Amino acid sequence: MKRPARRVLASALFASPLLAVLPLSAHAAVDLQISEIWMGNEPGDNLSEDWFEIVNLGDTAWVAGVDAPLFYDDDSQDAGAADRITGLVDIQPGEAVIVLVTDDPSAVDAFGDLWSPVYNLDGVEIGLTDGSGLGQGGDGVTLFLGGPDAVSIVDFEEYPEADAFGGQSWNVFKAGFSEPGDLPDEAVATAAVNDAAQPAVGSPGNGGPAEIVGNLPEITLLGDNPLVVSLGTPFADPGASAFDAEDGDLSGAIVVAGDVVDTATLGEYSVTYDVTDTDSNAAATVTRTVVVTYAELIPAVAPPATTGLFRHVATLGGLPGAEIPAYDSISQQVYVTSGDGLQVVDFSDPLNPVPGMLIDPASAPFNLSSAAVTSVDSCGGLVAFSVPADPQTDPGSVILVDSAGTLVDLFTVGALPDMLTFTADCGTILTANEGEPDDGIDPEGSISIIDVASGVVETAGFGAFNGQEALLRAAGVRLFPEVLVANDLEPEYIALSKNRRYAYVTLQEANSLAVVDIRSATVTEILPLGLKDHSLPGNALDASDRDSVINIRNWPLYGMYMPDAIAGYRVGGKQYFITANEGDARNADERVSSLPLDPVAFPDAAALQGDFDMGRIQVSAIDGDPDMDGDYDALQSYGARSFSIWDEEGTLVYDSGSDIEAIVATYSDAYDDGRSDNKGPEPEGVEIGRVGKRSFAFIGLERTDQVLVFDVSEPSAPVFMQLLENAGDEAPEGLHFIARRDSPNRCPTLLVTNEDSNTLTVYQYGACRLFN
């Protein structure tokens, strides 16, 4: 490879406190220079480790073990921190070698797999160095010769900011980023691309592009790939076309092989297509995947009663996080929790929310061990927010501030406070302290009850239930083996009774509710929620993420409701609670395909355990074997893929059955079959709002990025009203309803915080006349 004359080095020699510096002339006969630098693919995943190329422009070879060793550092040029380059035998005059910035030998094969199909790497030596990676923001390569007692910089080359040149190497002699076809290096683009559709572009070594004799024909599939065929439907291969630059159309010469597609048997089949031109050049084999699966099945569901009940009016992006919202009607401010603190938002104009200060719990005057805020609520001009400790198994904190962010009080509560709420009179704050285990420590779950006026904190725990594990299990409370009740139960979310006497707390993993007497700070009851029978009409679900089709049907499977959020309301003087039945595995999940099934309970086990049936769905490994004989007599999946309405005795009044999956599949394009094996749309959040004489429930679907609206004025017969979705919002986590009397523009308002997109979205009642 012809290369221009060597440039004069821009860097100067320097002295290291650890290594003496030798003059460059000591190594003048070995003239090594950095000639190319590849700093990876960004944005997106890298296709190989970072690397740089060394070329010997001298007339004498560098030989390992004879000459002084080579060391590498980045643009810091720190001899004391330099890392040795290993794996090189010699660098002959005119030869170029590659050095991968890693100490993993398997990276050499990955490098060859990436580059050798398009660039001739025959005889190219590849070394390794465990040094600092090469950044996209501009960096450099420093090459040292010498050691261990003496070292000198023999070359330093730097490159500029590379964000706009993902996957393109820096050509030192060109002083620019490589483009395919560059001379003298003849840079090439690899056939492989990363997840951002970027190839790697460069010219490693000095062999030039790989030689391809003749022009290879190309095959193009016709029709879909994968191709989905319904069970029992004849398979008609849509075929393929082939073209060659010399021979023209070769479609008639294509050879079809691979699997015989049996449409009477569920499964995936591979059909291959090959062709060879008259010069015996073979095209790359093309494969079509044919999926024989069930015909699409979506239960009928009533259309939304309206499309304009609530309308999107604003979205605020760029927040440090967006998990749980709250609103203070006195200051007209919204508060949004995140891992970085509590974001304050000016909401005086709901059509134009404006971010304000960020309250940092780790800074003065709070000085807590963590900045993460898990929950927030406001009442009467006061704002309370919960902060877990670091580590999370230590007692957490609740901070009370006024609307200006001034500290009013600070309270110590149980481990990992995950949700808090004020009572309606603003006199009491309750926190659900989840007490999740971490690093071998398993704190007790509890509910803290804070008297705002006195600052007294009382704790309602579950210690009184220790020793009653057998009785609780028999009643239907789900408990893990060999764990005390007080440590096992993890309070998740709180709803209050209208009279403020009782709190109803979801115990998600236990599939139960705890009833707390607020006055006595005592857990009085644990109410098991039971199981949902997915074999019954109306309770269908989609069980497979591999079948390439929406297949919502009945299965011999039970669902544990396992609610996350809960909200309370009253109808006709009677108390009701609505739960979003998300589910939580807590590391006790297995796929049905991996479990031994009882042959009596499941006589068709072999079929059921197929990937296209219910073999893929995740179920509990600690439930379903009551006779303890080692096989499963029943299968219990996580969450019910629904919302439910319960009375204050824990009796089920209504469950939405299969409606949520059917609604998403029928009335939107957001259905994600890839989640069918694991909680489906994942209903997580619930909020209740009253407009006039009607009560509405808002159900947040974390995996489909939507909120469903139901009229729940009649608890036994809710009506689907509307599907809310806003482009760009991802993973709705928190919901908060603002009544008309409290809204800045006197319009009923729904706030939605989206934790993946870090957005706060505002919906307002469609019948309002919006004004600023």
Cα separations in angstroms, 701 against 633, 669, 720: 31, 14, 15
- Structural domain includes residue 2: no
Please tell me the total count of domains within the chain: 3
Q: Quote the pLDDT of residue 214.
A: 52
Q: Are residues 114 and 145 in the same domain?
A: yes
Q: Are residues 156 and 75 in the same domain?
A: yes
Using 50 as the pLDDT threshold, list the residues of the chain that sit under it: 1-28, 212-213, 771-772
Nearest to 710 by CA among 699, 700, 702: 699
Task: Judge contact between 402 and 383, C-beta under 8 A.
Answer: yes
Q: Quote the pLDDT of residue 18.
A: 32
- Structural domain includes residue 366: yes
Q: Are residues 567 and 713 in the same domain?
A: yes
Domain boundary among 140, 174, 202: 202
- Structural domain includes residue 771: no
Q: Are residues 156 and 270 in the same domain?
A: no
Q: Are residues 253 and 174 in the same domain?
A: no
Instruction: Give, rounded to a whole angstrom, the gap between the first and last alpha carbons of the chain.
Output: 69
- Structural domain includes residue 14: no
Q: Are residues 282 and 358 in the same domain?
A: no
Domain of residue 318 covers 310-583+639-765
Domain boundary among 293, 323, 354: 293
Q: Are residues 565 and 674 in the same domain?
A: yes
- Structural domain includes residue 390: yes
- Structural domain includes residue 579: yes
pLDDT digits (tens, 9 = 90+) for 516-568: 999 999 999 999 999 999 999 999 999 999 999 999 999 999 999 999 999 99
Nearest to 256 by CA among 269, 234, 237: 237
SS3 readout for 187-199 = CEEEEEECCCCCE
Give the helix ranges, DSSP H, for 327-484: 469-475
Alpha carbons 338 and 316: distance in angstroms, whole number: 15
> What is the number of other CB atoms lying within 10 angstroms of the CB of residue 544?
22
Domain boundary among 293, 326, 345: 293
Q: Quote the pLDDT of residue 13.
A: 27
Alpha carbons 166 and 157: distance in angstroms, whole number: 19
Q: Are residues 286 and 316 in the same domain?
A: no
Q: Are residues 256 and 396 in the same domain?
A: no
Cα separations in angstroms, 644 against 62, 303, 567, 581, 604: 75, 20, 11, 7, 31
Q: Are residues 85 and 224 in the same domain?
A: no
Q: Are residues 142 and 284 in the same domain?
A: no
Task: Judge contact between 342 and 358, C-beta under 8 A.
Answer: yes
Return the residue matching tokens 């005119």: 94
The number of residues in the chain equals: 772
Q: Which residues are within 8 A (CB) of 4 and not within 5 positions of it... i.e. 6 or more apart?
A: 173
Q: Are residues 699 and 731 in the same domain?
A: yes
- What dihedral do alpha carbons 162, 165, 167, 169 form, nearest 10°? -70
DSSP notation for 601-636: T-TTHHHHTSTTTTTTSEEESSSS-TT-SSSBSS-E
Pairing of β 286-293 and β 227-230: parallel
- Structural domain includes residue 760: yes
Q: Quote the pLDDT of residue 16.
A: 31
Residue 499's CATH number: 2.130.10.10
- Structural domain includes residue 113: yes
Task: Judge contact between 261 and 269, C-beta under 8 A.
Answer: yes
Residue 237's CATH number: 2.60.40.10
Nearest to 752 by CA among 352, 313, 419, 324: 324
